[in-house]
């Protein structure tokens, strides 16, 4: 299928949602605790039976990262990686990705100017970073030395919490029929439907 850049003449805007307008940003930040908590449970369930079995009990003097450094490293690595994966998905859908940040709203983004995504393409773009980073993190937990387990876990949890806007957008767009078209606008999206 070819990419769509122009709105077909028989389509009209059916809804517009902004992630950072009004109180949405505050509510999304609070709601981010839910996917982060779910990811903690998923990793705990993964850690106990699968990962923990491969590590010996820690010995005195084992190297560990300070908590502040672990969180900082997770943020500096996982947030740009998350947006890069959005960009890869955008390119897979035939569009050119553009990256940016809005420091006043505290968001990084990947978008495609003048691009229209079919509903399922938009769902792929929205959800791919959550899926890829979660699976990558779970695989890394099987391979990294024990002193990195916390850092990888924090990165996966931060990514899940940071994906709240993507999850919210996907939940709204998923209710649209497959023929719906979606335009991404950095911190908002518009859904168009045939008349």
Long-range contacts, stretch 94-98, CB < 8 angstroms, 24+ apart: 94/1, 94/2, 94/3, 95/3, 95/5
Question: Is 57 within the bounds of a domain?
Answer: no
Is the confidence at residue 73, as pLDDT, over 60?
yes
Q: What percent of the chain has pLDDT over 70?
A: 91
Q: Do 152 and 141 contact (CB within 8 A), yes or no?
A: yes
Under the banding of pLDDT at 50, 70 and 90, the label for residue 158 is: very high
In a domain, 10, yes or no: no
Q: Which residues contact 131 (CB under 8 A, 6 or more apart)?
A: none
Average pLDDT, integer, range 17-30: 84
Q: What angle do CA 176, 181, 185 make, to 5 degrees?
A: 105
Question: Residue 153, exposed/middle/buried by CB under 10 A (0-12, 13-18, 19+)?
Answer: buried
CB 109 within 8 Å of CB 100: yes
How does residue 125 score in pLDDT terms, banded at 50, 70 and 90? Answer: very high
- Would you say residue 56 lies in a domain? no
Taking only the tens place, the pLDDT of each residue in 130-140 is 999 999 999 99
pLDDT, tens digit, for every residue of 162-188?
899 999 999 999 999 999 999 998 888
Question: Is residue 177 assigned to a domain?
Answer: yes
In this prediction, residues 61-66 reach a mean pLDDT of 65
Which segment of 52-61, 66-75, 149-158, 168-177 scores lowest on mean pLDDT? 52-61
Q: Based on the structure, what is the number of domains in the chain?
A: 1
CB 185 within 8 A of CB 111: yes
Q: What pLDDT does 43 receive?
A: 87
Flag whether 8 is in a domain: no
Token digits of residue 94:
């035939």
182, 116 in Cβ contact below 8 A?
yes
Average pLDDT (130-153) is: 90
Contact 80, 145 (CB under 8 A): no
**pLDDT at position 187, please?**
83
> Does residue 106 surpass a pLDDT of 90?
no
For residue 132, being part of any structural domain is answered with: yes
pLDDT attached to residue 127: 98
Whether residue 105 lies inside any domain: the answer is yes
pLDDT above 70: residue 194: yes
Cα–Cα dist 149/190, whole Å = 40
Residues spanned by the domain of 43:
16-51+67-194
């Amino acid at each position: 299928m070819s990419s769509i850049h122009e709105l077909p003449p028989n389509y009209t805007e059916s809804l517009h949602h902004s992630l950072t307008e009004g109180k949405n940003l505050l509510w999304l930040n609070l709601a981010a605790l839910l996917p982060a908590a779910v990811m903690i449970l998923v990793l705990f369930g993964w850690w106990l039976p699968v990962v923990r079995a491969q590590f010996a009990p820690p010995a005195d003097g084992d190297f560990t990262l300070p908590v502040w450094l672990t969180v900082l490293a997770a943020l500096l690595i996982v947030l740009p990686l998350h947006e890069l994966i959005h960009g890869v998905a955008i390119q897979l859908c035939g569009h050119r990705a553009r990256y940016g940040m809005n420091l006043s709203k505290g968001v990084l983004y990947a978008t495609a100017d003048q691009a229209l995504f079919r509903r399922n393409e938009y769902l792929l773009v929205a959800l791919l970073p959550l899926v890829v980073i979660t699976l990558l993190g779970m695989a890394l937990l099987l391979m990294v030395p024990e002193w990195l387990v916390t850092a990888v876990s924090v990165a996966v949890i931060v990514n899940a919490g940071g994906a709240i806007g993507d999850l919210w957008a996907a939940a709204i767009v998923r209710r649209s029929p497959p023929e719906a078209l979606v335009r991404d606008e950095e911190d908002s999206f518009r859904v168009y439907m045939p008349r």
